[in-house]
Chain A
Amino acid sequence: MKKSSVNRRGFLKGAAASAAALVAKPAEKAQAQQPAQTRPAVAVPNSAQLAAETGPPRAQVERIVENPGSDFMMDVIKSLNFEYITTNPGSSFQGLHESIINYGGNTKPELLTCCHEESAVAMAHGYAKIEGKPIMALLHGTVGTQHAAMAIYNAYADRVPIYLVIGNHMDAAVRPGGVNWYHSAQDMAAMIRDFTKWDDNPASLGAMANSSVRAYRMMMTPPMGPVAIIIDSEMQENAMPGPRPRIPKLTMPAPPQGDMAAVREAAKMLVAAQAPRINCQRAARTPEGMKLVTELAELLQCPVNGNGERMHIPSRHPLAGTGYQGYPVDLVLDLEVQGGGAPPANAKSISISSLDLFMKSNIQDFQPMSQADLAIAGDAQATLPWLIEEVKRAITADRKRVFEERGKRLAEAHAKQREQAIEDARYGWDSSPISLARLAAELWPLIKNEDWSLVGWQGFIGGWPGRLWNMNKHYHYIGGQGAGGIGYNAPAAVGAALANRKYGRLSVNIQTDGDMNYAPGVLWTAAHHKIPLLTIMHNNRGYHAEVMFVQRMAAERNRGVDKAHIGTRLIEPNINYAKMAETYGLTGIGPISDPKDMAAAFKRGIEIVKRGEPVVIDTITQPR
């Protein structure tokens, strides 16, 4: 084979014979041999064109491309220090794919094989919430991006950084015919622009380097969110056209902090309030965020409401919760709360939110307009150290005594509420199907002495882990989907478990059946890449929220409710998740419907996970 540094674009323009022609039947050959630029737009691919995409790889022409553009792209990507790249393979990034595994040595980042782009992005979502930094998801053209779109939107609404790189056959003049046209776009990022923070479609390697570094900065500056860089297939596959471009230095900007005068005013209001409460949604971006919120609460001796999306205060902390019954809230501090609604009657409210700095208009994820009396535009976590200092300055001895009394009352109430919440687990204790309270109660003693991490959402499992378990670290709970898009949980749990793996943590996911069935192939990814994760199925055999919605609708219309199962339940046949797991190469245990059988199954599952493998335990559960 003769070495050549011929430009691929030039080669294709000059060559009459395409690779597809080598495998085409004679009748199709003539069409396939037309110069690319004169080929008409094709509505339906012919068999030769389909063969080019679905058949064996195109025969390689006698050429060796040295120093391909995708090697430089790999250098750029390596400079951003990603640990992993999640992907489902596609021809629009085959150049970069090859550079990742050969030129880049498939380390830092390492390529992870995913069975669906939604899984690839949701894995990155879960990973980022544990690790506090992103991984890269590599997507194929229009189809891969559309597959990924729901997961991108979830991450956007959850303010989670995900670095998307998307392949495209940009130049129609040299674009191979047929399927590649379906997979190409003139503005690839248009379809996800409503829910990404920034994107670019760089026209050169130098521009790609600049935009890649800029995208990383944009992504990580609060409010964080997904960004997308489109990479042209020609640019990947051709030799670098000239001198190696410079890769800009990545310098992260300090996160935006609230105005100091406003922070001082907020501190005065908080110290003067009789019954303040802190609401948190996505304030803690890092483990430090949880410490800061807890410190502020302890200074003020006021309750913290908000371990739903991130951990903000240990679950057994006496100030965790909304306060005692009748706690007369007169001031609410909302930290990175979207919307937040109106404060209680006669109460004032302060908001600190980076969303005042960046918001998009089309999709309505921003929630109702905040009712704040004092709104501070800035990142809550970055602002908290200054707020804490100002609160310290403003506290007098008299106020301190008031705070101490308030704290005592809140602590007493918290203890009672905690006891009541645990006692409520007795309901359904002996029931079969299994109650979610008992499931969480049986699991807790088996994990509490481990370094554990709950990597799934607890909204559909009654919040029982939060009620029964001692959650006091940021990775003990990472919240949910962001935008309520189902299909997040299973892959996000695998991504979070991936991040936990290097710390030796025991990752636990209580997984709903409806969510699992969106893209169960992520189980194979967990098995293939040896990602240890204990998945316990909350198998209630249906999309249970919707069963209730349809039932309520039918009742409102006075038409009878006996058909609410139609279109909402996963029965006839029932799905066996233990067998599903085994098919994907995991250990499957169950199904289990007797609560007395759970502990032994959980113990066995944990032993296997501690050996470094994923396990699925199928438990048949009560609806909620």
Chain B
Amino acid sequence: MKITITLLSITLVGTLAWAQGRGQRGAGAGEQAAPAPAVNLNLPEGDAKRGETYYAKYGCWECHGYTGQTGNGARLATTALNANGFVNYIRKPRTNQMPLYSAKVISDQDGADLFAYIKTFKKPPEAKDIPLLQQIINEK
């Protein structure tokens, strides 16, 4: 038997504002620190095929979903970052929830490959094009 989560049991209208274990430490889950200035990393060209294996190997899917659209993490399928910004971000994440990946763990080449794979993710459909969601929005 185990206790897997720490619950901040007061919740929003359904959006559960609960924090997860160590995620609450320090600045607090989801709290954003000031962005570190992006360093120009002169990244090599990324390879999406290799990036796909890294996406699985490094467990990116765990917080960002298998298609970069779901989960607790940022929606990678619609990221506004470029490759340099992306690798800078994983080196110094702005949230306590996001693990930090040093160059020892994910090299610049691996990072560039990951980003190349992320750029292959499809964008989600617009809500206006999903009748089911429109129906729910229009309900009283």
Chain A interface (Cβ < 8 Å from any Cβ of B): 150, 279-281, 305-309, 315-316, 320-322, 337-338, 340-341, 414, 417-419, 421-423, 425-431, 433, 435-437, 441-442, 444-445, 448, 458-459, 462-471, 480, 483-487, 518, 543-549, 551-556, 558-562, 564-565, 622-624
Pairwise interchain contact B11-A308, C-beta atoms closer than 8 A: yes
Indicate if the CB atoms of B104 and A427 lie closer than 8 Å.
no
Which of the 9-residue segments B33-41, B42-50, B53-61 touches chain A?
Answer: B53-61
**How far is the CB of B114 from the nearest CB of chain A, in Å?**
12
Q: Known contacts A308-B10, A467-B14: does B130 contact A426 (CB below 8 Å)?
A: yes
- A465–B1 CA distance with the chains assembled, in angstroms: 27
| In the complex with contacts A280-B10, A430-B124, A468-B136, A549-B20 CB distance below 8 A | yes
17 inter-chain pairs at a CB distance below 8 angstroms, sorted by A residue, are A150-B1, A306-B10, A320-B13, A321-B13, A338-B9, A341-B8, A421-B13, A422-B127, A448-B139, A459-B5, A463-B12, A471-B14, A484-B7, A485-B1, A485-B2, A622-B67, A623-B63
Q: Is A562 a contact of B133 with CB atoms below 8 Å?
A: no
When distances are taken between beta carbons in the complex, the residues of chain A under 8 Å from B137 are: 418-419, 422-423
Across the interface, do B13 and A427 meet the contact criterion of CB distance under 8 Å?
A: no
Is residue B31 contacting chain A, with contact meaning CB distance below 8 A? no
Contact of A315 among B13, B70, B97 (CB under 8 A): B13
Least CB distance, B64 to chain A, in whole angstroms = 9
B69 within 8 A of A: yes
A622 and B10 within 8 A (CB): no
Closest 7 CB pairs of A and B: A466-B14, A308-B11, A555-B99, A428-B70, A423-B127, A428-B69, A427-B69
Let me know if B135 and A445 touch, CB within 8 A.
Answer: yes
B102 within 8 A of partner (CB):
yes
The interface residues of chain B lying within 8 Å CB-to-CB of A441 are 132-133, 136
B3 at the interface (CB under 8 A from A): yes
Q: Which residues of B contact A (CB under 8 A)?
A: 1-16, 18, 20-23, 57-59, 61-63, 65-67, 69-72, 75, 77, 97, 99-102, 104-105, 122, 124-127, 130, 132-133, 135-137, 139-140
Do residues B133 and A422 form an inter-chain contact, with CB atoms below 8 A? Answer: yes
Total number of residue pairs linking A and B with CB closer than 8 Å: 199
- CA A442 to CA B61, docked complex, whole Å: 23
Q: Which of B125, B126, B135 contacts A430 (CB 8 A)?
A: B125
Choose from B3, B62, B77, B124 the contact partner of A551 (Cβ within 8 Å): B62
**Interchain nearest-CB distance for B34 vs A (Å):** 20
Q: B66 → chain A, closest Cβ, in Å?
A: 6
Chain A's nearest CB lies how many Å from the CB of B21?
A: 6
Q: State whether B71 touches A556 (Cβ < 8 A).
A: no
With contact pairs A422-B127, A429-B130, A624-B65 given, residues A465 and B70 touching in the complex (Cβ less than 8 Å): no
Chain B nearest Cβ from A243, distance in angstroms: 45
Q: Which residues of A contact B16 (CB under 8 A)?
A: 308, 458-459, 462-463, 466
> Known contacts A430-B124, A555-B99: does B15 contact A421 (CB below 8 Å)?
yes
